[in-house]
Structure 1
């Protein structure tokens, strides 16, 4: 089962059986005690823990190996001594945890791992007081507030209010029996590099609507699937042992703009572009025949702001409205056209959105892809003449003005917002 519920008693027993587990704890001080705000447990004997302690007057962040029974006691709601601090769990223990089984390179929260993993999460009581917004200055890096420190401590990344806002516990168990380390997709061949600790009897299978190709696995190595007609739309590459999956990758229309799968290499990007265009323009894709000017330029920049404000997406320049790949004109040079688009984004979208630009060569025609990632806050289009910020979201294939509640919610996601 990929997801469901697990009795907390099962997790307590699992932790109790281990001599040590790797933990990260975020503690917030109230008037009388140190209270657990967030705890992460990693059940991984192969990765040594890097011990860290950040201490402030109102918060403490700890990363250390902790005896399994001590972690289990915290999970079931008992006060425990950790690194000289008496830690009190926040509220009564939960009876169950949400369970997720994740493939390799799958993102949940702000975490991506090359190997599959199982995660259990427990949310805190909604009535639990949240840490304050005081500056944190002490025996650790300085931060504007608790949430910024938490994000830096857990992920070494800027604060994202969607991450761990409601989680009390997150327990992670790597699944390294077998996984897909790298997949290379060419015009007529798919190559998969398979690694793992328990691959005896495993099968690697490529499936698509009209058929499938299974291959027995005799250990770690490189396995090949011929693609006489290219990679079929909606293909599934499955590494399995009997009826249990070890790892998998799905190849529907690629969703540019969101986290790209680092394990998948498109050796010839043309097939990737074909699959993307097969689903047409929509929530995550906007096409332009050439580098836009006038009203078309404003529309593209508003769409980029909308992509960054929500789930990400891609603008393809060199594709007509009827999804024909026409390519960029020969003059000016492709580099100059790319620089022109980058300059437009720099001048008119703020704060600077998270994006990458790249040129895709498709049968001798060049297409410029502007891949925009979700930025975790609202991004504004600011007209160069009026200098008035405007906010947009993506609704299906359309870019529409954001409503006041949507704008307010977007600004609450990030401590640093656009200056109005």
Structure 2
């Protein structure tokens, strides 16, 4: 199966009907004498969930274990009685279903699992009724509005501008045949821990541009590959059975500001920095010798806004423009400099983009990395009372054009920063 594909609601309904029970999380909006589904998540898992229900005058959130046939009926648009609530689900105008096969530790739609998974999603129609923005007070925790309650219920995380859901349904199938709980990369050895429920016939491979290594997997345990010349750029670690992958990790130059993979441990942080610098400054990487001042500071903040408005990126402080690693000044207080940057971002960028700052040690020198993730919308630099938008073109940050700003806001039609 390809990593991305298409299916239809008939196939999906048949798959659900064939299961005795599934775990379901429903976000519902009150409408006259019934409840309308705003978002539904289904997990095809044998382990039952701990049931919980939050109910308010205008909204309800329920986590339950239901018969697969009940969920399939909702998918078709048939009203169902669920936990004392009369629930109806909008029927999407299109019967198309997006299918994605994701590796372990891969984040998609604010969801990450240790093991690989297959996800089916159905988008919500534009004219589907939207929830209100009233305070939610009732049988459950109190929230400022529906969006905050939804983010807390689904993700146990505070709401931000990227938390809104465009999908009506999301069905998740865990794939636990084989997966990587932990991978350790040292200066001369890669060690992979493997776990799984069906590893018969599995093979572990390490592939790079000029060669590869492979070894059979005889069960859960620890497997190693020597790295006499270190980890090659663009290496791919693959756990597979014949032509189907079970789990994988790639190690490109990590220039994007995406969330770091918690399963990968770098025992030689300098190696990670070398990979990061492999392709030089570009659309997703900018280097600074030190925490900038004046106009240089404004330029860095505009670049952070540009990173967040598109695919993400990383600012490295302690690296020259020619990629020479000089490190932060020896007398510098790293924590103080980090707090200084956090304050700059909070005070000048709207909305505040998703980012993470951390220190990388390289041969006794400290480099401060500001890893900016994609915010899913346009992020502005505040210049006095004026909001300015920027994009990244090659290694340069330039003002965004009108169509780029409009396209950025269309990524999240509910976003507003004014």
TM-score normalised by L of structure 1 = 0.89
SS at match of 2:277: helix
SS at match of 1:304: helix
Contact 1:353–1:372, Cα closer than 8 Å, also in 2: yes
Alpha-carbon separation, structure 2, partners of 1:327 and 1:362: 8
Alpha-carbon separation, structure 2, partners of 1:219 and 1:412: 45
Aligned to 1:122: 122
Alpha-carbon separation, structure 1, partners of 2:122 and 2:351: 34
Contact 1:378–1:410, Cα closer than 8 Å, also in 2: no
The answer on 1:166 being equivalent to 2:169 is no
Aligned to 1:41: 42
Aligned to 1:399: 397
1:233-272 correspondence to structure 2 within 5 Å: 233-272=233-272
Aligned to 1:131: 131
CA gap 1:89/1:260 in 2 versus in 1, 3 angstroms: same
CA gap 1:335/1:90 in 2 versus in 1, 3 angstroms: closer
Contact 1:16–1:72, Cα closer than 8 Å, also in 2: yes
SS at match of 2:361: strand
Aligned to 1:289: 289
Alpha-carbon separation, structure 2, partners of 1:176 and 1:249: 16
CA gap 1:73/1:315 in 2 versus in 1, 3 angstroms: same
Moved more, 31-40 or 315-324: 31-40
Alpha-carbon separation, structure 2, partners of 1:328 and 1:17: 60
1:254-403 correspondence to structure 2 within 5 Å: 254-332=254-332, 334-335=334-335, 337-345=337-345, 348-349=348-349, 353-376=353-376, 379-382=379-382, 386=384, 390-402=388-400
SS at match of 1:392: strand
Alpha-carbon separation, structure 2, partners of 1:260 and 1:99: 24
Aligned to 1:14: 15
Gaps of 5+ in 2: none
For 1:332-359, what per-residue CA distance to the aligned partner results, in whole angstroms no more than 9, with x for missing partners?
4555554554454455445655433322
CA gap 1:175/1:196 in 2 versus in 1, 3 angstroms: same
CA gap 1:410/1:391 in 2 versus in 1, 3 angstroms: farther
SS at match of 2:299: helix
CA gap 1:99/1:341 in 2 versus in 1, 3 angstroms: closer
Aligned to 1:209: 209
SS at match of 1:119: strand
TM-score normalised by L of structure 2 = 0.90
CA gap 1:75/1:353 in 2 versus in 1, 3 angstroms: closer
Q: CA deviation at 1:160?
A: 4.8
Alpha-carbon separation, structure 1, partners of 2:116 and 2:411: 34
Moved more, 360-369 or 68-77: 360-369
For 1:296-351, what per-residue CA distance to the aligned partner results, in whole angstroms no more than 9, with x for missing partners?
12211222233344443211112111222222332345555545544544554456
Gaps of 5+ in 1: none
Alpha-carbon separation, structure 1, partners of 2:72 and 2:417: 40
Q: CA deviation at 1:226?
A: 0.6
Q: CA deviation at 1:86?
A: 1.6
CA gap 1:337/1:94 in 2 versus in 1, 3 angstroms: closer
Q: CA deviation at 1:402?
A: 4.3
Alpha-carbon separation, structure 2, partners of 1:141 and 1:227: 52
Moved more, 147-156 or 89-98: 89-98
For 1:269-306, what per-residue CA distance to the aligned partner results, in whole angstroms no more than 9, with x for missing partners?
11111111112212221101223222212211222233
Alpha-carbon separation, structure 1, partners of 2:188 and 2:92: 57
Q: CA RMSD in A?
A: 2.7
Alpha-carbon separation, structure 2, partners of 1:416 and 1:274: 39
For 1:364-415, what per-residue CA distance to the aligned partner results, in whole angstroms no more than 9, with x for missing partners?
33222122234456554446xx576544343443223345672892897677
Alpha-carbon separation, structure 2, partners of 1:130 and 1:390: 30
SS at match of 2:42: strand
Moved more, 340-349 or 114-123: 340-349
Contact 2:256–2:311, Cα closer than 8 Å, also in 1: no
CA gap 1:168/1:343 in 2 versus in 1, 3 angstroms: closer
Aligned to 1:100: 100
SS at match of 1:111: coil
* Aligned residue pair count: 415
Alpha-carbon separation, structure 2, partners of 1:389 and 1:95: 41
Alpha-carbon separation, structure 2, partners of 1:305 and 1:149: 27
SS at match of 1:278: coil
Alpha-carbon separation, structure 1, partners of 2:291 and 2:396: 19
Alpha-carbon separation, structure 2, partners of 1:162 and 1:357: 20
Alpha-carbon separation, structure 2, partners of 1:284 and 1:177: 35
